Amino acid sequence: MTEEATMIIDDLCIPGTQSTPDIRTDGAAGRIFMQGDSYPENTLELFGPVISWVERYLETGDRPLTLELRLIYLNTSSIKAMMDIFDLLEVAHGKSRIVAVTWYYDSRNERVAELAGEFREDCSFPFDIQPRND
Amino acid sequence: MMEASDLYSMREYFTKQHILLCFNGPISRSLIEEIGNALKNYLQAERAQPSAATDVFATYIEMSQNIRHYSINRGYGEQEASATVVIARDETGRYAVSAGNLVEAADGRALLARVTALAGLDKSQLKAAYKEQLHRPRSTEPHQGAGLGLLDIARRSSAPMVASLTELTGEQAFFSLRATI
């Protein structure tokens, strides 16, 4: 129990706007959710805390981490920020940590599948891209 | 001063050029979003394919944010930090996104050279250059951008980007860039 207690990191709950996605972390369940478009002018302002959260989570304990993404359009600096997050997962995966990404997309917009697919090319951990027809 | 009747000739010109949306003036972070929103609605109303709509929107965002980052880096005031943005359809119905801004002449010449170099790359070379840039360590400056914007636009374009530079008095020039989706 004491070991569990030291692993608690404050969760993030960042509500989305027109140009920024909804971002929610659930440290207890080992999950991160992101949903929406991301094209803010200053991406580090938005993703800085998320990157720090992932770093701290992965430094602590050995529990799995799953990213559940419903991201649609990302500007190039958001793409860079997501790559930073995937790089952290890749390093953790190299140390036998269980990490995974599932990216859901509207099957009518193939650009989202292509975007997710290009990220997946650079990752060796499980990275699932799931079309949805809703 | 502009006459009221001049508006009619402007309207005629916009219609003839198939201009969907245009903007000229100081551009802020929120204005970029608002124009982007209008653009999204236009594309939806025009029933553009989701992939084409994404490409046009992305090109507009990358061009206008590039201009903002550049103006902030250069410490430009409001007037110099202006942008001219035009979104139109060309004679074959493809979308053309153009944006222009004031730059230091030397920066403009470097940009022209970069656009010319990108025009010589095919899709797979563009992808390789994009991936290389994506994995390069980022600059710590907040307005440096990821250096990916032009590559992203080039990858979304159906023809090489076209750039031009109009040298003005002093050390400044007007740089303009056009991408056809």
Checking if the pLDDT of A7 tops 60, the result is: no
Q: Among partner residues B58, B145, B151, which is closest to A73 by beta-carbon distance?
A: B58
At A70-81, the pLDDT tens digits run 999 999 999 999
Q: What are the domain boundaries of chain B? A: 6-180
Q: Is the pLDDT of residue B144 over 80?
A: no
DSSP per residue, B132-151: HHHTSPPPSSTTS--S-HHH
pLDDT band at A42 (very low <50, low <70, confident <90, very high): confident
- Whichever domain contains A8, its CATH number is 3.30.750
Q: Which A residues in the span 107-126 are in contact with B, Cβ-Cβ below 8 Å?
A: 108-112, 118, 122
- pLDDT above 90: percentage of residues in chain A: 87
Tell if the CB–CB gap between B58 and A109 is shorter than 8 Å: no
Average pLDDT score over residue span A54-78:
96
Residue B146 reports pLDDT greater than 60: no
Identity of the residue in B51, B146, B148 whose CB atom sits nearest the CB atom of A111: B51
Which contacts qualify for A17-24: CB closer than 8 Å, 24 or more apart? A18/B33, A18/B37, A19/B33, A19/B36, A20/A46, A21/A71, A23/A50
- A75 CA: distance to closest CA in chain B (Å): 7
Predicted confidence at residue B53, as pLDDT, reads 95
Which whole number is the average pLDDT over B111-137?
94
Percent of chain A whose pLDDT exceeds 70? 93
pLDDT for res B141? 61
Q: In this structure, what token pair is assigned to residue B176?
A: 């303009």
A39 CB neighbours in chain B (<8 A) are 36, 61, 65
Structural domains in chain A (count): 1
**What is the length of chain A?**
134
CB contact under 8 A, A83 and B135: yes
Least CA distance to A107: which residue of chain B?
B50
Query: For the structural domain made of B6-180, what CATH number should be given?
Result: 3.30.565.10
Asked if residues A50 and A15 have their Cβ atoms less than 8 Å apart, the reply is: no
Taking residues B125-148, report their average pLDDT. 81
Q: Mean pLDDT across the stretch B79-99? A: 92
Q: Does A59 touch chain B (CB under 8 A)?
A: no
Comparing CB atoms, the residue among A42, A80, A106 nearest residue B142 is: A42
Is the pLDDT higher at B172 or at B145?
Answer: B172
Q: Would you say residue A5 has pLDDT above 50?
A: no
Work out the mean pLDDT of chain A and round it to a whole number: 93
pLDDT above 60: residue B83? yes
> Does residue B169 have a pLDDT over 50?
yes
Angle at the Cα of A33 from the Cα atoms of B52 and A52, rounded to 5 degrees: 105
Domain interval for residue A98: 2-132
Per the listing, tokens 């706007």 go with A17
Task: State the first-to-last Cα distance of chain A, in angstroms, to the nearest integer.
Answer: 42
Q: Name residues whose C-beta falls within 8 Å of residue B8's C-beta, 6 or more positions apart in sequence.
A: none
> How is residue A97 written in tokens?
């940590």
Query: B179 with B122: CB under 8 angstroms?
Result: no
Nearest Cβ partner for A77 among B36, B50, B146:
B146
Residues of B in contact with A18 (CB under 8 A): 33, 37
pLDDT of residue B158: 96
What's the pLDDT at B4?
77
Measured between beta carbons, the chain A residues lying within 8 angstroms of B29 are: 41
What's the rounded Cα separation, in Å, for the pair A50 and A54? 6
